[in-house]
Amino acid sequence: MSKSYASVVDALSDNNLLVARDLLLGEIMEKTKTRESWSCSHYTTDRAIQESIPLKHERSKEITYFGLENMRDRYFLHDENGEICENPQTFFARVATGMARGDKELAHRLYEYMSNGWFIAATPVLMNIGTSKGLPISCFLNTVPDTLEGIFDIYRENAFLAKYGGGIGTDWSRLRGQNAPLKSSGLKSSGVIPFLKVMDSETLAISRNSHRRGAAAAYLRVDHPDIEDFLEIRRPTGGDMDRKCLNINNGVVITDEFMRAVEENRPYNLVDPHYGTVTKELSAVEIWRKILTIRAETGEPYLLFIDTVNKAIPPHHKEKGLVVRQSNLCTEIVLPTTDERTAVCCLGNLNMETFDEWKDKVEQMTYDCVKALDNNLDSFCEMADPVEYKKAINSVKHERSIGLGVMGYHGYLMSKMIPFESLQTRLINKQVFSLINKHAKAASVKLGQERGLPLDGGTQRNSYIMSVQPTASTAFLCRQATPCVEPISGNAYLQKTLSGSFLVKNKYLEQVLEKKGQNTLEVWQDIISAKGSVQHLDILTPEEKKVFRTAYEMNMREIVQQAADRQPFICQAQSINVFFPTPISGKYLHDVHFLAWKAGMKSLYYLRSAAPIEAEKINTKVEKRDLANEECAVCQ
């Protein structure tokens, strides 16, 4: 362990975070004695309903220091002088009131869910609902037509989508490939990459509501003539820098035909989408190997198994000839796009870590959460510019898609001392997602009867209901739940903040160590020196070591299989990262990714390689934008 690491750890005490939390909470409460949410000029929600909510300020003690810091810096409303106008409970009350849209009883229940850490909406909802300063939508998907006018229309649309908080997934697969003839001019096409370069610059230039730069992902089919160049756009070295796009993410749309060609070690064809002609024959195995190699190097491209996706779309969409072409910025949204339809999805998450507290209320709570997310779609349609967001509003009216997800999966397992890699976990996985799916579907059917069906038809108010998105940011607001359905990457780490460095511990491991009389700074220092692992600790039993394995110590086949097991209960897709210690075995890399397709997963998000690096390194300011380690904030 480095000297700097040791000096920081030695300076810490177990009470530091609690003291810091109490000081920060006290400061927040003092500053908001004379200010309320409506002190902000952007406030637009129903003040009378918000004031009617009985606030439970004692629950703010359940929020960690990092959760409070996150709330203060990102989510609380501010007045014209830049001073915060909200504390944790008034923040929850404002969000609940905004999501309830005039329904007082619903607002009260939503406040209870959020205040208790049972449910939380995604970041754009938390930041913007009940205000006039942004839009309460996480994800947009659009498709680029093969015309110059259509391409520049997409640039304009993307600028507006990004400006007000949305993450964007854009399908470029309809553009003809490089050197394809342009009959109107007699010239040849420049292909997809130069147009992606413009998108890359646009993404860098547009900030999302003054909080972060724009965020976008470009998707291209694996059988597109430009696929070889597309795979190289995120590699920072080698090749022509004018054909690099380092500020956007990229995803490959994988077909069953390609995967079968890989399996059978045979060539496959690249097909020009405009003319329908075969332009080249490539070795499927070589392209697959290149995809996996670049994923190991950069964390991307994302993978979208498009035929698996389209087999599962709702019957009423199949009847209309609608198809999904791409995913979003985090690979969990799979919605149809057309030249008239820019897909829209509003997200929220149940906290599985607190499942035992709300499982007896699951029917009412799921109904309320589905209703609240459906309400947000109406808020979006009212707030969005009817010209610039015409295609997005059209999509909402036709399908009303939402994404109810889950966080705290691994935390729940650890709280029960159940290993992630176990048959018991596989059973729990299916039971919990089956339960949520059942009640979410019932809620949407009921809402369809109460409010009417979307223009596309079907039997539910919402054509799509569930997805599993990343929740690293919002999990801090829910008693520091573990993110999404993901295993933890370390049992302890140093978190640097403006207030200093803090030792962040796995609270469930801490409880075990406390019972053993081993909850000491020396033990935690030992864990940090092992990069968050406890496998070397003699004070833990073999079974306890299994419970507290980190993501890098697990077999990725298990993560993939559990994702596949829950996929039938999730109408959209999942943000699933895979973790590989270095050096990475090529066969293992192939086996895990191939299993994802074979087992029925719809997508794969980032590939994380090597063990987690020390927090003092990952929290220092860097100039190079490392997208592979930058989780999407809009889905969280």
Q: Which residues pair with 346 in a beta bridge?
A: 402
Contacts of 52 (CB under 8 A, 6+ apart): 104, 107, 108
Q: Where are the alpha helices (DSSP H) in 516-569?
A: 521-529, 542-547, 556-566
Instruction: Return the amino acid letter for 103.
Output: D
Taking residues 149-154, report their average pLDDT: 97
Helix (H) or strand (E) holding 414: helix 409-415
Higher-pLDDT residue of 370, 80: 370
Q: Which of 123-137, 156-170, 253-267 has the highest mean pLDDT?
A: 253-267
Residue 494 predicted with pLDDT over 70: yes
What integer pLDDT is reported at residue 613 of this predicted model? Answer: 39
Confidence of residue 205 (pLDDT cuts 50, 70, 90): confident
Report yes or no: 304 and 219 within 8 Å, Cβ to Cβ.
Answer: yes
What integer pLDDT is reported at residue 213 of this predicted model? Answer: 57
Quick one: the chain helix, strand, coil %, rounded to 5? 45, 15, 40
Q: Is 78 helix (H, G, I), strand (E, B) or coil?
A: strand
Confidence of residue 162 (pLDDT cuts 50, 70, 90): confident
Q: What is the pLDDT of residues 460-473, one digit of tens each?
A: 999 999 999 999 88
Residue 168 predicted with pLDDT over 90: yes
Q: What gap in Å lies between CA 23 and CA 497, rounded to an integer?
A: 15
How does DSSP assign 296-357, residue by residue?
HHHS--EEEEHHHHHHTS-HHHHHTT--B----TTS----B-BTTB-EEEEEEEEEGGGHHH
Q: What is the pLDDT of residues 238-266, one digit of tens each?
A: 888 889 999 999 999 999 999 999 999 99
> Domain coordinates of the chain in residue numbers?
139-341
What integer pLDDT is reported at residue 204 of this predicted model? Answer: 85
Q: Where are the alpha helices (DSSP H) in 82-122?
A: 88-100, 104-115
Residue 115 predicted with pLDDT over 50: yes
Taking residues 4-14, report their average pLDDT: 40
Taking residues 388-403, report their average pLDDT: 98
Residue 622 predicted with pLDDT over 60: no
The closest alpha carbon to 431, from 406, 460, 464, 411, belongs to 406
Instruction: Return the amino acid letter for 436.
Output: I
Only one residue has tokens 């934008």, namely 625
Neighbouring C-beta atoms of residue 511, cutoff 10 Å: 14
Confidence of residue 211 (pLDDT cuts 50, 70, 90): low
% of the chain with per-residue pLDDT over 90: 83
The closest alpha carbon to 470, from 628, 576, 603, 593, belongs to 576
The closest alpha carbon to 123, from 109, 139, 141, belongs to 139
Q: What gap in Å lies between CA 373 and CA 571, rounded to an integer?
A: 16
Neighbouring C-beta atoms of residue 600, cutoff 10 Å: 16
What integer pLDDT is reported at residue 498 of this predicted model? Answer: 54
What is the CB-side half-sphere exposure of residue 137 using CA atoms within 13 A?
Answer: 34
% of the chain with per-residue pLDDT over 70: 91
Structure tokens that stand for 310 in this block: 């389209």
What integer pLDDT is reported at residue 203 of this predicted model? Answer: 87
Instruction: Map 379-408 to HEC letters.
Output: HHHHHCCCCCCHHHHHHHHHHCCEEEEEEC
Peptide bond preceding 581 in cis form (omega within 30 of 0) = no
Residue 272 predicted with pLDDT over 60: yes
What is the CB-side half-sphere exposure of residue 590 using CA atoms within 13 A?
Answer: 12
Mean pLDDT of all residues in the chain? 92
Report yes or no: 408 and 351 within 8 Å, Cβ to Cβ.
Answer: yes
Residue 634 predicted with pLDDT over 90: no
Least confident of 158-167, 286-295, 396-405, 499-508: 499-508
Q: Is the dihedral of CA 60, 65, 66, 71 positive or negative?
A: positive
Q: Where are the alpha helices (DSSP H) in 53-171?
A: 65-70, 88-100, 104-115, 123-128, 148-163
Residue 65 predicted with pLDDT over 80: yes
139-341 topology per CATH = Anaerobic Ribonucleotide-triphosphate Reductase Large Chain (3.20.70)
Confidence of residue 20 (pLDDT cuts 50, 70, 90): confident
Q: What is the pLDDT of residues 291-309, one digit of tens each?
A: 999 999 999 999 999 999 9
What integer pLDDT is reported at residue 616 of this predicted model? Answer: 32
Q: What gap in Å lies between CA 537 and CA 531, rounded to an integer?
A: 13
What integer pLDDT is reported at residue 626 of this predicted model? Answer: 54
Residues acting as catalytic residues: 328, 330, 332
Least confident of 133-142, 363-372, 500-509: 500-509
Residue 499 predicted with pLDDT over 60: no
Q: What is the pLDDT of residues 544-589, one digit of tens each?
A: 999 999 999 999 999 999 999 999 999 999 999 999 999 999 999 9
Taking residues 398-422, report their average pLDDT: 98
What integer pLDDT is reported at residue 584 of this predicted model? Answer: 92
Peptide bond preceding 336 in cis form (omega within 30 of 0) = no
Residue 5 predicted with pLDDT over 60: no
Structure tokens that stand for 452 in this block: 């009417």
Q: For strands 607-609 and 207-208, give the pairing.
A: unpaired
What integer pLDDT is reported at residue 496 of this predicted model? Answer: 65
Neighbouring C-beta atoms of residue 505, cutoff 10 Å: 18
Q: What is the pLDDT of residues 40-63, one digit of tens each?
A: 999 999 999 999 999 999 999 999
Taking residues 585-607, report their average pLDDT: 98
Structure tokens that stand for 13 in this block: 């005490």
Confidence of residue 4 (pLDDT cuts 50, 70, 90): very low
What is the CB-side half-sphere exposure of residue 212 using CA atoms within 13 A?
Answer: 20
Confidence of residue 16 (pLDDT cuts 50, 70, 90): confident
